Structure 1
């Protein structure tokens, strides 16, 4: 295992040294803890420098390397330095890198002995040849001669038999790699000669045969593979193999032929017939595929033996059907079939071997059995033709004929009716994929050439779906990035799709239940946000209901950069068709301007579809705007815009958000009815109004939501808080008020208070009093006033950011005095800071006076330090901790020392993330108060996270992984298309990418360890 510093010097003892002889070759093996690039340097000239001529590359990938070291005949004898270096695969570790500072890997130094070559004498030692017994044509292979004598004067020669004589094969070392392989069986031998006397050893003949072509198929490869870029299920006749549980095994290629027919059936496929192959894929968003069958059993997959199906790509967790026509000339017997799937780019006919167009994907091999066809006779059997009742214009669909006769001499022809005659479509297989643009009739004709018998099937009539049933369905595949909330306002009825979560395949169709109702020239507003992260967004509407979103006026909204939420307004064109029109919202995590178009499929993001019900402008229009003014805790003044054609109105106030009210409906001829009374404080209500145009002709209902004031919105309703005590509040419904005339706080904060709430606290005795909102999840401030409501006389204290963005004040309180406490926040209008908080009021025990308190992280532990300026015997401290800054619990007790002192307390089991600490200062009498709240953060030690820094980055990008990761964990730097730029193993939960010289823009760091995959966006400056 690696030393802590990743650099180790081993002494020249035991198994840590070796003796090598001048002019001799030696095999060397190196093993690593993960896929690596390895190098060995030996200082043959003993000049203290590892030079390029003294380097051997052991391998560039994999966890086990094998190489050969040949000691130069000129190497100096004696102790010699040897250096072995490893680094994650995909990085640099070459001839000039013996001393290069690396961001990962390990270096080991050894001392070996170089011995002088001893002259040979007499007969050389007998030699044994090892190597393959049979090889594939044209493939390199290696022969090895073992036990050969070494020494000066020794020469080696490999020889091969050309059918008449033994001739030199070219290699003069004990290891011989036959470059280019052989195409016919060949005999070899190895000759060792000692020039000091002429002794010679000649081995026996070593014969190598040639494998049949079907034993010599090439291997497909993928750089990365990917856990979601896989083939999960294959069905072809009797063959059915679900490999979901295997995910994407190492090498990203599985040869299932060894399991056939024991556990996987070998399907029969008759010459001249067509068969459907069904492929299922993983969760990634593209899923391209390609299929080959070696019909001529040549050991190669020819371009003419290549098939693809539909759809291609199949999309995340999609299914594709491939129709395979077996040539009448296909050789009978077991034949290999290769499938590539899960690819991020289209697979071409020439990519059966090696790499495809994508770094991601998987390959699987199977056997099929080609059976001979039988010649047809007489009239073919009756075939039944089937197809869908309707199809979308230009969208492929399948026609299928079942029960058709097969055999030599049988031909098929799908025909369509052009209005006058039946015309051949060109489809000559039992399954035929086609498209239509108008309703069309089809039939299937089977003909036997041996006698001319013919069967004509039933007619299949295919209708055309309306365009509004033919919208494209884009696919996204991430399970992390999605739209979570979308709503509208201003319609006669509105969309309210809250907490929708992730939709399967990254596409949610809510058109049946989530509809905004409006009319031509009507206006409605929309707003939305996401589950996590920032996105680019576009919104479209199909105003002309032609089944697409490509017309000039159909893109309604687009962001210009990444946003965490979005909103906009839509005016319905006067030309918009009536009825239900589709509204589409698209969000792309990797494009600040949203999807490129309404049908774009990608990995990170989501689409959602909604309905817009466009009615003719009603003869009785509703009021354009509703109003709720002068709201108090129990009353509100409501009104609305006048409708010229109205003879009166109906209105109601209730707590129902639906358009039709459930409360008492009142009729009036005025648009300003009397003040509404009897409401509850701090509650949400809805004003419903519709116009009455006479003779039972009413407008649609319009609805306006409003909130009543909370009880302590003004100082007259201030709520008393005991000293020492707490109270929970929520200022979401508090109004924006003017501050009292008494200055209390900085100039910048004296002009007004946003969402202010009032409390009182009365001091029972003189001493210190502390008021705090520590832990509030928004930016608070506190003002404490003296005097009475409406007649304040002074300011006892003001604080803004005493504990984070929340507030805490300690001030000198006077016995039997009531203090007015105003808790406010910064920000108003469309983006106020508000929410739930806890107000704490405490009186400090007179004996203990705090100097300061702090909290510090020390790895997996936190330390709380504090110092007092005074204390008495019997006093003590209770150390309290909270994970949210609101709910505290005791974790320890520390006795006071009776005089001003410094203290420390170690928290050995903090939570991951922020830990909030405070002291409960206790006196012997039981009185107590609290110290300020301090925070220490523990980095995620038990959970899992991936962080990159700095971000933005100009040169070195550091990757830090928190939590346990498996040994095969890797990180890859890619561009936004997923193209891998650099990849390395994660070592000690860290990795470093050098981005110096890369183009500015957006990149991704993708982590995977077989259990988890996550991506982080990086901005390159």
Structure 2
């Protein structure tokens, strides 16, 4: 008893191992990759099911449900179209089949993907057709039966019955036959084809109807002329399903690029992926990319667009898993849009630079140079998170090139864009001096500052805190007459400049003078007047005295009376260097044996 038990146990283990080894083959997605087996079984007519009267005729077809999802050559189907001419097509309709759907002489009939159970111009007249789905998920079996069919349509008595079985768990396609009482009458039909086909170029067909035929994917047989033996079974097995990859996810997405990865799948020899804008799984090899890695990337995508990543595992030649699909959206364009770089403000040593904001920006990067050579993509510059930067310490009279790019989410960055800015030479106010001063007139004059083309001047007997407008002139001198004697006047002047189309206006300069007093003293020309120009002063001050004595002296003191400068006067016009004096208010004093004259001057 122990020996018998051991042998029985050993047989069971061997059978299971054999079954496992057979199913461990990767599932084929091509008909030529299916594994063919021939065996002998008991043929039993269906005892129940749904009649298919549409094929109980000559040249009829109809679509019927499988009852579950069946996978054939890598695609899933829930319906089949069956025909009285001995074929079962996966899906609805007859495809691109030729008229009568019985043209099996070549594999170009157009009914594929299909099972050629007995593909010939047979007829269901006088016979019956039934289908049924049995079992429970995931082990259901679909059976389509044709009983007592004529071979061919001109025969008088039925010669064949056959069944097509589709196995949910394994994807196996099986055809079983029974010889009936009649005989085969080929007539002009030429014979039958038995096998499976995915397309006109991918198929397997039998070379005969023996118990051990060859199922060939290179030689197409269309002249079988006898019914297989009763109980003869022909089966095509796609092999065990190829495991789909798991964990497919994007790891980086930007406006034009995606990185993605997945977990390694069992029994993998590689992977195929497609990135497109179609939610349906790919049906052709177009745009398929192969890899042995578990990560990949794609570039040159369109911004703000919906894409799909389709991925499948390859377990062997022509053996693939089902497609796994995820979707993702690319980000908006990482680009600085119109109007690009703007320079709303510029002066002689600074400029304000602005640009449009980018919604996905992390930061902006800019480089300022005096040459227009573009930076490389790997160059680095100054970064900012705002869309404005104030450039300082610029040199007047130079052109600067501003290169700008934006860095966005997803490690994305734009190309460098560029604009230039010319820093104008400063627009200086006129340094007004005076000539021909008398009791009722004065001539103002000045040297033209660089880039100045026009001037504005005000002569006022009262100080003006905020000058607004005056007399415009393109000359560098101006006569003011009909003045009041012995009156202090304030002269305000500014320049209008243009440097390479950049127009600027200087600040107002301020200078004072006092007209002479008209009286008996001026008959001899000895009028005691002190005139300071300019006022305020930058680096040198001009002091004019209308009557100079031989012992006259000019002194400059601070507001406490401390003496800072002392100079002998030898002419009516004296120039004194005050460049080293600090900013502030000072007293200028002229003294001789007869006079003491004072005036205030502001050092800028």
Tell whether the structures are fold-level matches, with TM greater than 0.5.
no
TM bucket (normalised to shorter chain) is under 0.3
